[in-house]
């Protein structure tokens, strides 16, 4: 079962016309779509409802143009990351599975999906959430047909965060929560990153006091997002598997800091594209489908020894600074502003940097 991939521009807040065009052109069928990862143009915060609007629009197209029931379409993992700061273009990367096969000696893109057990509000930021996320990741590996964690190059998740209502629910049941509403987005992402790292053998199970504190514990393939849309970890896992079929391959690396453009090229090279020693966008030949990365302001307030002020800015949140900056570096690297850049990278890549993932079209 081969995977087909399409990057689609989102032309307005609730636009899914690009998906319609992709289906009408025959690149994929509506019933073949198995996952969507996208950037929407809202504020990227707790109350960013552009994620919900995009979700409704894309599911609506699949309902209209396919034969699956509403309940079946609702089960398709769609991970929406809000906030297109700087030059980032709102877009979605759509993944479909068809009946094409491939030779056993060629390793190609494969995808697995899973849902973790329900994550309670009191789990967020604590070992229980790490364990539940790890369980979901292992299930997604099995679904992808991957047995070796080294073949996993990208784990995109969506997990719950805290709201006033869920905090009250926990308190009514006699439980405390780890943090407040606004901190919970980063905490949920960070705890999830540790769950991914545990599942893939990148780290041992962390102690409770290390969660969201010991930042040198991280996953190099995690991209974690959170929102109000669900109450469990939705896991979309990407890797390479021999005989998977198709013409796409995936690779990963890390950006050591916000300026590490070489980290992006390392990921592209890891995906199987041959590059010169000092690559530029013009060397890619249009073969990079998309890059996905996480970033975060360095809490030391430095970038290559130079003082940074984004953490001191009272007008613009540091998430928006870092997303715009890394988005610019990524767009320069591949020559396309439609790049997936998400913030809140705690426990996802090295502190001040983050994982970077590339999917390339090898044409065969």
Contact 94, 8 (CB under 8 A): yes
Select which of 132, 158, 287, 294 is catalytic. Answer: 158
The two tokens of residue 85 are 């700061």
Instruction: Check if 158 is active-site.
Output: yes
d(CA 13, CA 55): 10
The two tokens of residue 252 are 């990963």
Q: How many helices (H) and strands (E) does the chain have?
A: 8, 14
- Could you tell me whether strands 232-242 and 107-118 are parallel, antiparallel, or unpaired per DSSP bridges? antiparallel
- Could you tell me whether strands 306-307 and 222-227 are parallel, antiparallel, or unpaired per DSSP bridges? unpaired
3 state DSSP class of 181: coil
Select which of 225, 226, 322, 342 is catalytic. Answer: 225
The two tokens of residue 228 are 């109000």
- Could you tell me whether strands 222-227 and 152-160 are parallel, antiparallel, or unpaired per DSSP bridges? parallel
d(CA 125, CA 359): 31
DSSP symbols for 302-336: EETTEE--GGG-SSS-HHHHHHHHHHHHHHHHHT-
Instruction: Give, in order, the Cα–Cα distances in Å from 34 to each of 21, 77, 227.
Output: 17, 7, 20
d(CA 169, CA 172): 5
Instruction: Check if 225 is active-site.
Output: yes
Contact 196, 172 (CB under 8 A): no
Contact 272, 249 (CB under 8 A): yes
d(CA 290, CA 62): 22
Give catalytic residues, as residue numbers.
Answer: 158, 225
């Amino acid at each position: 079962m081969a995977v087909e991939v399409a990057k689609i521009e989102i032309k307005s807040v609730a636009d899914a016309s690009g998906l319609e065009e992709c289906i009408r052109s025959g690149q994929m069928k509506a019933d073949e779509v198995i996952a969507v990862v996208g950037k929407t143009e809202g504020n990227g915060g707790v109350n960013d409802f552009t994620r919900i609007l995009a979700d409704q629009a894309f599911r609506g197209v699949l309902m209209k143009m396919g034969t699956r029931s509403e309940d079946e379409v609702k089960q398709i993992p769609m991970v929406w990351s809000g906030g297109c700061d700087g030059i980032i273009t709102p877009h979605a990367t759509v993944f479909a599975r068809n009946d094409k096969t491939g030779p056993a000696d060629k390793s190609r893109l494969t995808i697995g999906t899973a849902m973790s057990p329900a994550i309670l509000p009191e789990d967020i930021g604590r070992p229980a959430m790490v364990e539940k996320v790890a369980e979901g990741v292992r299930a997604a590996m099995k679904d992808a047909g991957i047995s070796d964690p080294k073949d996993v190059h990208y784990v995109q998740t969506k997990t719950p965060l805290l709201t006033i209502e869920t905090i009250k629910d926990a308190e009514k049941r006699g439980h405390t929560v780890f943090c407040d509403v606004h901190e919970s987005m980063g905490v949920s992402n960070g705890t999830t990153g540790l769950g991914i790292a545990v599942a893939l053998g990148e780290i041992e199970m962390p102690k409770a006091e290390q969660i969201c504190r010991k930042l040198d514990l991280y996953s190099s393939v995690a991209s974690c997002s959170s929102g109000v849309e669900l109450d469990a970890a939705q896991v979309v896992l990407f890797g390479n598997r021999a005989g998977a079929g198709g013409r796409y391959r995936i690779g990963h690396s890390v950006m050591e800091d916000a300026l590490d453009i070489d980290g992006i090229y390392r990921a592209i090279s890891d995906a199987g594209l041959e590059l010169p020693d000092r690559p530029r966008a013009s060397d890619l030949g249009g073969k990079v489908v998309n890059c996905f990365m996480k970033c975060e302001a360095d809490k030391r307030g430095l970038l290559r020894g130079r003082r940074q002020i984004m953490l001191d800015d009272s007008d613009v949140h540091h998430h928006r600074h870092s997303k715009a900056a890394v988005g610019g570096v990524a767009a320069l690297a591949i020559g396309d502003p439609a790049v997936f850049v998400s913030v809140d990278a705690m426990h996802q890549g090295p502190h001040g940097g983050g994982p970077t993932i590339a999917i390339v079209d090898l044409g065969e």
